[in-house]
Amino acid sequence: MVSAAPGRDKRAIRSAVLSARRTLSPQERSDADAAIREALATVVARVRPGTVCAYLPMAGEPGGARLPELPGVGRVLLPVLRPDLDLDWAAYPAPLLSGRYGLSEPDGPRLGVDAIAEAELIVAPGLAVSTDGVRLGRGGGSYDRALARVAPSALVVVPLYDGELVDRLPAEPHDRPVDAVVTPSGVGLVTHTGRNRSG
C-alpha cells in the first residue's frame, strides 16, 4: 500500500510507488497485468466505445504490453509524444517505432492533439489515484494537457496495481479527475467532489 499522507509531496509519492512496483516478482507482475486487462475488458464491454485512447505501458507499468489490445473496439488510438511534450495520436494496431524517452509509438498518420476529444473511453497511465479521482502521473504534464481536451461525457480509467488507489493526493486546479481505476482486484469507481470535469 502506498502512503499518501497529508503533506507528502508528489515526488515522494512517485518514488514510493515506483519502489513498490519494483518489488513485484515477474510472476506477480504477469498475474496482476492479466487481471488488469480482464478488468479493463469488463469496462470496454459495459461502455462499448467506438474510439478508445489508450497507451502502451512502459516496462513495469500496470497492464503490460498487451494493454491496448481491446477486442470489440472500433478504433484504438495511442499517444505520440511531441517535441513540446504534448500528445498527438495515431491509430493502433500499427508498426511501432521507438519515440522520445524510449516510448513505443505507432507509425502512421498523426491525427492531432484534439483526437482524444473523439474518444468515449480514455485509458490513462498513472502512478496512483485518490478516491476523489485525482491522478498522479510522472510529472511531465503530457496527460494533464491531453485530459483537458477530453469530452465531459467520456470515461477516464487508470490501470493501477493493488494499493495504488489512495485516500488523498495533492491536487492542482488544472487536474481533470478520472472516473475509475482498473486493478488486479477489479474495477473501482471514484467520486468527484465538485472537481472540474469539463477541462
Contacts of residue 158, defined as CB under 8 A and 6 or more positions apart, other chains included, come to: 123, 124, 125, 126, 129, 135, 178, 180, 181, 182
pLDDT band of residue 155 (cuts 50, 70, 90) is very high
176 is in an annotated binding site: no
pLDDT at 194: 47
What is the distance of C-alpha 133 from the center of its chain? 12
Assess whether pLDDT exceeds 50 at residue 197: no
10 is in an annotated binding site: yes
14 is in an annotated binding site: yes
112 is in an annotated binding site: no
108 is in an annotated binding site: no
Give the mean pLDDT of 55-68. 93
- Domains along the chain? 10-189 (3.40.50.10420)
186 is in an annotated binding site: no
Please, what is the average pLDDT of the chain?
Answer: 90
Give the mean pLDDT of 130-158. 93
Assess whether pLDDT exceeds 90 at residue 159: yes
Say if CB 145 and CB 79 are below 8 A apart: no
Judge residue 68's burial from the number of C-beta atoms within 10 Å of its C-beta, 0-12 exposed, 13-18 middle, 19 or more buried: buried
pLDDT band of residue 192 (cuts 50, 70, 90) is low
Contacts of residue 63, defined as CB under 8 A and 6 or more positions apart, other chains included, come to: 33, 36, 37, 40, 57, 159
pLDDT one-digit tens code per residue, 13-52: 999 999 999 999 999 999 999 999 999 999 999 999 999 9
pLDDT band of residue 115 (cuts 50, 70, 90) is very high
